[in-house]
Structure 1
Amino acid sequence: MTKNLYAALLFVTASISALAQLKSPSEFIPNYGKQISYYHQVEDYFKYLTENSALIKKQQYGLTNEQRDLNLYFISDAENLKNLEQIRLNNLASIGLSDSKSASTQDKIIVWLSFNVHGNEFAGTESALTVAYELLNPSNEETKKWLKNTIVILDPCINPDGYSRYGNWLREISGKKNHPGLYDREHMEEWPGGRYNHYLFDLNRDWAWQTQVESKQRIKVYNQWMPQVHTDVHEMSYNSPYFFPPAAEPLHEFIEQYQKDFHNVLGKNISQKFDKQNWMYNTRERFDLFYPSYGDTYPTYNGAVGLTLEQGGIGAGREITMENGTNVTIKDRLTHHATAVLTVVESAASQKEVLLKGFRDFHTNARKKAKGVYNTYVLKGNAKLEQLTEVLKKNDIEFSYADASANASGFHYQNKKTESFKIEPNDLIIKADQPRSVLTQVLFEPNQKLNDSLSYDITAWALPLAYGVEGYAVKNALSVKTKTAIEIAPKNIPASVYAFYVPWNSRTSAQILSILHQGGIKVRSAMKKAVFGTITIEPGGLIISRADNPKIADFEKTVSEIIKIKSDYSFITTGFSANSKDIGGENFVLLKAPKILMLSGKGIVSTEFGANWHYLDEVIKYPVSIVETSNFNRVKLYNYNTLILSDGSYDFSDDQKKHIDEWIKNGGKVIAMSSAISLFQDREGYALSMFASKEDKEKSEKEEKEIELKKRFLDFEGSERREISGTIPGAIIENKLDKTYPMAFGLGNTYYSLKTNERSFSLLKNAINVAYIPKNFLSYGFVGNDIKKKLPETVTFAVDKRGDGSVIYMMDNPLFRGFWENGILLFSNSLFLVN
């Protein structure tokens, strides 16, 4: 035997040996199951697996805000991995999303596993390592059988930034010994915690809206695969027993029987595994399938069996003593998860034919079902359609634009009545009869049908109301001529322009104003309608004049380059108006560039702070100074003219409150959101009070006492359901607007607010009630009977003028989860147009 041949044989032998002895996570990562793994260790282990197994492939699908990799791993037998692309195309072809079907490649079941959407629920990612190992383990004969007809797509960490934030903190404060006592610091996570991503968004509520970079990149790939099963792996309070399907009520009416049936299969199969180990669990409680932007519901509305797995572990650190006296460790948590997840894969493999048929029937039935509900959604031409179509594109929902006029009749979202209307060119047309029919109908359904009012999340989200676009849901098919895009004629800008006009009607308007302010370009805003020849300037409209900006070189080119991102801009050649509203008159107010301070830290609701931060940093890209509340005394407040107080509890001293009072009187503006308004409630000099009069207060207190007396005769069993009568988990509420005030500019005739709290204040005296709930208000989603009686004639957004400054009260958060488009414009009004 030659030397070279001997060396080659040794290499082959060593390679075979390595494949036969694949290292487990505990052999690869020090202290695996005892301490949280660093994210780089997670990546290193998967790199090791891909280099030492022929059954796994990696795809990096993106980067986080903090530049960490987002990775997917495809696990199946070697033959399937060779044909991965054709398997994907075959799957899409089976539901009408591809024409590239090949008979040579057999149909496979696709199971997508998502771990750690919440960064501090870290046992998810830890379990992903064990799941991957067991699927690839050469000595595991069972998993080899599953992978013959199964493609597993494994995302070990959806939220690497949150996971790393939590992991670094836990590592830093950990000693050599575990401390399972409840009061050790490893069980008391510091603000803002690791649950959320970089901008402190809850990624598990962002699947449909895709406001965050992680969601945008992940769901683009998800929609290219369309799995039959999607598993979302979570943790909850450490005292809670394990949760697995079936899911709780309410279940959306569009969920098919095959999805419910497989939930029951999973419940039986996982319970058998857990029973053998005497592990505690529960099913059909708490976690429902309704709100469309979760990691279980979004896949469900796309035809998959979407499911949530929940292990008790939040706040447990490395180990903690539960209320039953037993300790739960990292090892316990990841083992429970790995057992449940592997059972999902096993169950899917064994139910391949049933799942494939159900998945395909789901899409066929959905298109048939569309004819029985609403066939078409028509949204009237509006500047906000640009943002709405972006959401449709992200979700691969088909749409077109009307290319002719036609008469139609449909359910009008804004008044909840069926009425006749006229379709006009450039109106948006969305048909329910399309490949993603169910998701389309769920996002546009005018009235969500709850079969149980104990919902885990918001209960209304109709996109026309969220985007402030007049819309109709039509039952009958429409035969109007359509086109794929709106043609925009190029603008011929003359050599000399008196002023440019940018309509104030969408987030793009605010983005332009942000750029202009940062460039030191002076801008005016119209208080009332003004007419200049063929150009009508609506209230809020931005005017950039040569007279205000004499030092700008090549005025026309400089300004037009900035504002061209908004196609409806125009220009005027004279400052002389046709209706006595000249550019140099009182109608056009010179806007002051905000100098913003925003507080963060303990006591502030991290997601609400994050929504504000994301709006400033990502949506309008405007500078903001962020200061911890503990450092507020060190701030020179007069260096700023705007203070944003996100929802939360602010423990200001009397001296600090007086300092803020003086700053407001001298021209400062406070935007106080949700519970932050309590800083000004019933304080001398401010208009904010829960009751308009002493009599109203006494009447309310009397009613509360009477209710308490009646409760004495009620049974305990119904107490939970009685409690929800006074709640509003998330519903759309009609608000009447004062259209003459800048905070309402561009919002239309009515504002529909997403209300997620029970806070209610009577219309304020000596203040501007910009938006309030009228007597016979319209609502969408669940509103408890008791709270519904309290809401009429209560204020939602108000401005309290004090001296030269003002306080803006926001009872609801218009930036909630970053998807309420009309709320983004309302907040922009508050920031830029209200002095």
Structure 2
Amino acid sequence: MKHYLSALLLFTVCFLHAQLKSPADFLPDYGNQVTYYHQFESYFAHLVQNSDYIQHQPYGITNEGRGLNAYYISTPENLKNLTAIQQNHLYAIGMADKKAADTADKVIVWLSFNVHGNEPAAAESAMNVAYELVNPDNKETKDWLKDVIVILDPCLNPDGYARYGNWLHTVTGKSLHTGSTDREHMEPWPGGRQNHYGYDLNRDWAWQVQAETQQRMALYNQWMPMVHVDVHEMGYNEPYFFPPPAEPMHDYITRAQKDFHTAIGEMTAKKFDANGWSYYTREVFDLFYPSYGDTYPTFNGAVGMTYEQGGIGAGRAITLNNGTVLTLKDRIDHHTAALLTAVETSAWQKDKLIKNFSAYFAESRQNPKGAYRSYIVKYNGETAQLAKLLERNKIQFAYADETRKLTGFDYQAGAEKDFIIEPNDMVISVNQPKAVLTQVLFEPVQHLSDSLSYDITAWALPLAYSTKSYALKKDMAIKTKNATVQKGKMEYERVYAYYIPWNGRSAAKVLAQLFKNDIKVRSANKASHYRGININPGDLVVLKSDNAKVSAFEETMTVLLDGKNDFEVIESGYSVKGGDLGGESFTLLTAPKVLLLSGRGVDVTDFGQVWFYMDEIIDYPVSIVDLTEFSRIDLHEFNTLVLANGWYDFSDTEKITIDGFISRGGKVIAIDGALNIFEDREGYSLTKFSSAGGKEAESKIDLSAHLQPLTGNYESIMRNELQNSVSGAIVQNVADSTHPLGYGLGGSYYSLKTNNSHYQLLEGAQNVIYVPKNYNSYGFIGNLLKKKLPGTVTFAVAQKGRGQIIYMVDNPLFRGFWENGNLLFSNALFLVN
């Protein structure tokens, strides 16, 4: 019997070995052309069917219906014990309540490919890496897998990858065209880099705005890998980049994480040296902004790393500046060697990785790195949205269940203040497994070791959500509860009107649904008081008398208000204080008919942020028209035109068309670069300097910089240029809470500034949100720019004829995570009438 079983096992192994094919054997043009996504999935299905070293883990669906997939790769024995290995791994860091059956500790390595769709060598190499890991003839990888569980996500952005690949197949023929002017090296708008909604998924790890990220991070947090590699491509003339990374590196990155960067850099360099491949380390790619595929894992205890191969725009092959031809196969080979080395190094450093990973979580709880030990977020309409973000990141929190006087750092005031904590206020303690990530997201100030940062340098969640918040230097013993307790609905005998507080995205989405169902809505422009109800400017009122033509009005409102738990029914239009419901204090709103322009010249990501807001945040219809078709559009069909950030090249005739649209009563929302269309044009108030004195004052600031010594090395010259720049910093603004654009903002707005554009306070316009003289800021702002910002406008509204134009110098929808920006944009869309 034993001989029979041995023979059967030998036959099975030989059969599987004979069936298993490499990507080159399975795919007809592998390494010469980008693989179609359905073929890509078929190859991984082939590996799963023909190897017991790999298991499939589907984890989601993209916006366009493509599958999101991960694959567990290890020895058959490890895969059989996968659940127990996972359970014990999470238990060791405090993220599971109990241990499973005893299993040997394993290193968890997560490999992420192709978060940017038009970096195809990443996904292409994923097939080769997976094959070499399971290939029975590769004895080295089998030894590594005894100690390693590899979680391989071969394509984080299937929609973008498919968009790029399908286009490349369409424009290429049999012959290679390696010159840079061939059309296969000139990707058309919108390109494949972003996902369906034009979002850069590699900036979304912490914020989890997009569906792909939300679904992936649910799986990620079920595993908490020790090593994470994020695989990319960059400009095709660049050599390969692998760790160690560049400065600035966040203060919370540990010595152990840095040591592994060095070890893997040395190991990878040896492989590249042996092949004569060009590479560099310690340049460009820093570890600071927390929402990348290297930093987010790093702040979750892993050794997070970015790998970059030159290749964006290379198509199938391209001639480099040095005269050599870079092929798709070259790019695959480089990635394969680097990624396999990452797995090899992880197996070699198994004991260190396991020890350091557990120590990371223990030490971060016992000796937190930041200045503060707990955070209090006062309860308001945005708290529920913040709670969702924390839950997605597995950050623990509770709600206060008592009232007490405390002292803490007031984010809005920028100083220590006394405050009262009350029931339903959110309490976040650093004493939890996700201690480091919590501090990174909540600390008011992040120390920046080098101003040459790759991304934004400030992101404190209390300012993003504009919730009154405090940071405390001590963890406090306070009675808490797991959920907020809402007061019950007031009893009523009849429906005169419905009251809906204007307090965040939930209110904007309800208003969108009301408009879609032809419900007439009013917005309060003054404070008033009714029985048990305080109405503030911006709050919505739906009068029964306005909607006499709506059949089953009350039943319809019950359905439309489902999920908006803080609405109330008003029995009488007679106010206790302030204006009556039938008076001038309540403005009848006009449902927007929205046109959004797209196409070459419009920034893809900024366009996508508006589209996503309309589609997913508020679920409201928007017509999208390409710029090339603009002259054919009848603007009489619309009352709102949104111009996302871009470089618009309107003809004089098209500009006159926009002028007429506004004068007839239309509304234009112009964001960032779109302001150039109106700057210094007759009939518009937008100008850089409102007076000669203002221009002279800024000239003096610039002159002081020019008077500095003109000599210096190249690096010093480059750093001097930073004096007028900002990569992303938080700037305090004053908000006019009496203006519809400022409704719900509470008198202040913390803007995420990502450009150096600035305009002195405008004459002939309402400067609704502006930078005051003595403003607070967080993150890096160049010294000269910092001096120029006081007295500049950030958001303004100007009248032209019967219409209005809303100038947005900063983008309130930036990456979708600036929740107070969502409210500001909702004001512009719905309430500025």
Q: Which category describes the TM-score, using the shorter chain as reference length?
A: over 0.9
Equivalent residues of 2:795, 2:808 under 8 A apart: yes
Equivalent residues of 2:698, 2:788 under 8 A apart: no
1:410 CA displacement: 0.9
1:381 CA displacement: 1.2
Question: Alignment partner for residue 250 of structure 2, among 241, 249, 252?
Answer: 252
Query: How far apart, in 1, do the equivalents of 2:13 and 2:475 lie?
Result: 62
Name the counterpart of 1:55: 53
Question: Alignment partner for residue 450 of structure 1, among 428, 448, 451?
Answer: 448
Query: How far apart, in 2, do the equivalents of 1:14 and 1:295 lie?
Result: 39
Question: Alignment partner for residue 563 of structure 1, among 537, 561, 572?
Answer: 561
Q: Does 1:525 align with 2:523?
A: yes
Q: Does 1:646 align with 2:649?
A: no
SS in structure 1 at match of 2:715: coil
Name the counterpart of 1:823: 821
Query: How far apart, in 2, do the equivalents of 1:540 and 1:579 lie?
Result: 17
Tell me which amino acid in the other structure corresponds to 2:448.
L
Equivalent residues of 1:529, 1:536 under 8 A apart: yes
Name the counterpart of 1:511: 509
Name the counterpart of 2:539: 541
Name the counterpart of 2:364: 366
Equivalent residues of 1:380, 1:469 under 8 A apart: yes
Equivalent residues of 1:399, 1:431 under 8 A apart: yes
Query: How far apart, in 2, do the equivalents of 1:703 and 1:421 lie?
Result: 40
Tell me which amino acid in the other structure corresponds to 1:757.
N
Task: Indicate how the Cα distance of structure 1 residues 493 and 67 shifts in structure 2: closer, same or farther if over 3 A, else same.
Answer: farther
Equivalent residues of 1:20, 1:138 under 8 A apart: no
Q: Does 1:193 align with 2:162?
A: no
SS in structure 2 at match of 1:677: helix
1:572 CA displacement: 1.1
Tell me which amino acid in the other structure corresponds to 1:684.
E
Q: TM-score, normalised by structure 1?
A: 0.97
1:833 CA displacement: 0.2
Name the counterpart of 1:626: 624
Equivalent residues of 1:20, 1:139 under 8 A apart: no
Question: Alignment partner for residue 591 of structure 2, among 590, 593, 599?
Answer: 593
1:48 CA displacement: 0.5
Task: Indicate how the Cα distance of structure 1 residues 372 and 254 shifts in structure 2: closer, same or farther if over 3 A, else same.
Answer: closer
1:69-148 equivalence runs, <5 A:
69-102=67-100, 104-148=102-146
What per-residue deviation string (whole Å, max 9, x for no partner) do you get for residues 1-30 of structure 1?
xxxx99x99997476244256211101111
1:415 CA displacement: 1.4
Name the counterpart of 2:298: 300
Question: Alignment partner for residue 794 of structure 1, among 783, 786, 792?
Answer: 792
SS in structure 1 at match of 2:390: helix
SS in structure 1 at match of 2:170: helix
Equivalent residues of 1:371, 1:475 under 8 A apart: no
Q: Does 1:25 align with 2:33?
A: no
Name the counterpart of 1:233: 231
Tell me which amino acid in the other structure corresponds to 1:505.
N
Equivalent residues of 1:496, 1:556 under 8 A apart: no
1:251 CA displacement: 1.0
Tell me which amino acid in the other structure corresponds to 2:564.
K
Tell me which amino acid in the other structure corresponds to 1:48.
H
1:255 CA displacement: 1.0
Name the counterpart of 1:752: 750
Q: TM-score, normalised by structure 2?
A: 0.98
Task: Indicate how the Cα distance of structure 1 residues 492 and 292 shifts in structure 2: closer, same or farther if over 3 A, else same.
Answer: same
Name the counterpart of 1:278: 276
SS in structure 1 at match of 2:610: helix
Query: How far apart, in 2, do the equivalents of 1:555 and 1:699 lie?
Result: 59
**Which blocks of at least 5 consecutive residues in structure 2 are unaligned?**
none
Name the counterpart of 1:582: 580
Name the counterpart of 2:469: 471
Query: How far apart, in 2, do the equivalents of 1:356 and 1:752 lie?
Result: 41
What per-residue deviation string (whole Å, max 9, x for no partner) do you get for residues 489-546 of structure 1?
4426535210010010111000000000000000000001011122110100100111
Task: Indicate how the Cα distance of structure 1 residues 302 and 691 shifts in structure 2: closer, same or farther if over 3 A, else same.
Answer: same
Query: How far apart, in 1, do the equivalents of 2:531 and 2:224 lie?
Result: 53
Query: How far apart, in 2, do the equivalents of 1:701 and 1:479 lie?
Result: 55
Name the counterpart of 2:157: 159
Q: Does 1:214 align with 2:177?
A: no
Query: How far apart, in 1, do the equivalents of 2:33 and 2:247 lie?
Result: 36
Tell me which amino acid in the other structure corresponds to 1:64.
T
Tell me which amino acid in the other structure corresponds to 1:652.
F
SS in structure 1 at match of 2:449: coil
Tell me which amino acid in the other structure corresponds to 1:590.
L
Equivalent residues of 2:118, 2:312 under 8 A apart: yes
1:337 CA displacement: 0.4
Tell me which amino acid in the other structure corresponds to 2:576.
A
Query: How far apart, in 2, do the equivalents of 1:34 and 1:492 lie?
Result: 69
1:580 CA displacement: 4.1
1:323 CA displacement: 1.1
SS in structure 2 at match of 1:623: coil
Name the counterpart of 1:682: 680
Name the counterpart of 2:486: 488
Equivalent residues of 1:109, 1:352 under 8 A apart: yes
SS in structure 2 at match of 1:739: coil
Equivalent residues of 1:498, 1:575 under 8 A apart: yes
Name the counterpart of 2:765: 767
Task: Indicate how the Cα distance of structure 1 residues 301 and 703 shifts in structure 2: closer, same or farther if over 3 A, else same.
Answer: closer
SS in structure 2 at match of 1:718: helix
Query: How far apart, in 1, do the equivalents of 2:794 and 2:488 lie?
Result: 41
What per-residue deviation string (whole Å, max 9, x for no partner) do you get for residues 748-787 of structure 1?
1210000000001000001000100011110001111011
Equivalent residues of 1:372, 1:475 under 8 A apart: no
Percent of aligned positions that are identical: 55
Equivalent residues of 1:797, 1:808 under 8 A apart: yes
| Larger mean Cα displacement after TM superposition, 696-705 or 88-97 | 696-705
Equivalent residues of 1:392, 1:398 under 8 A apart: yes
SS in structure 2 at match of 1:473: strand
Tell me which amino acid in the other structure corresponds to 1:402.
A
Query: How far apart, in 1, do the equivalents of 2:511 and 2:558 lie?
Result: 13
Name the counterpart of 1:354: 352
Query: How far apart, in 2, do the equivalents of 1:616 and 1:641 lie?
Result: 16
Equivalent residues of 2:490, 2:568 under 8 A apart: no
Query: How far apart, in 2, do the equivalents of 1:375 and 1:10 lie?
Result: 61
1:42 CA displacement: 1.0
**Which blocks of at least 5 consecutive residues in structure 1 are unaligned?**
none
| Larger mean Cα displacement after TM superposition, 193-202 or 489-498 | 489-498
1:704 CA displacement: 3.9
Tell me which amino acid in the other structure corresponds to 2:745.
L
What per-residue deviation string (whole Å, max 9, x for no partner) do you get for residues 214-255 of structure 1?
000000000000110000000001111100000111111111
Name the counterpart of 2:429: 431
Equivalent residues of 1:110, 1:150 under 8 A apart: yes
Name the counterpart of 1:696: 694
SS in structure 2 at match of 1:370: coil
| Larger mean Cα displacement after TM superposition, 490-499 or 376-385 | 490-499
Tell me which amino acid in the other structure corresponds to 2:253.
I
Task: Indicate how the Cα distance of structure 1 residues 698 and 216 shifts in structure 2: closer, same or farther if over 3 A, else same.
Answer: same
SS in structure 2 at match of 1:574: coil
Equivalent residues of 1:405, 1:480 under 8 A apart: no
* CA-atom RMSD in angstroms: 1.7
Tell me which amino acid in the other structure corresponds to 1:127.
S
What per-residue deviation string (whole Å, max 9, x for no partner) do you get for residues 278-332 of structure 1?
1111101111111111000111001000000000000111111111111111001
Equivalent residues of 1:495, 1:556 under 8 A apart: no
Name the counterpart of 2:264: 266
Equivalent residues of 1:290, 1:297 under 8 A apart: yes
1:553 CA displacement: 3.1
| Larger mean Cα displacement after TM superposition, 572-581 or 316-325 | 572-581
SS in structure 2 at match of 1:236: strand
| Larger mean Cα displacement after TM superposition, 9-18 or 792-801 | 9-18
Equivalent residues of 2:492, 2:569 under 8 A apart: no
Query: How far apart, in 2, do the equivalents of 1:363 and 1:13 lie?
Result: 46
Q: Does 1:731 align with 2:750?
A: no
1:562 CA displacement: 1.5
Query: How far apart, in 2, do the equivalents of 1:657 and 1:772 lie?
Result: 27
Question: Alignment partner for residue 405 of structure 2, among 398, 404, 407?
Answer: 407
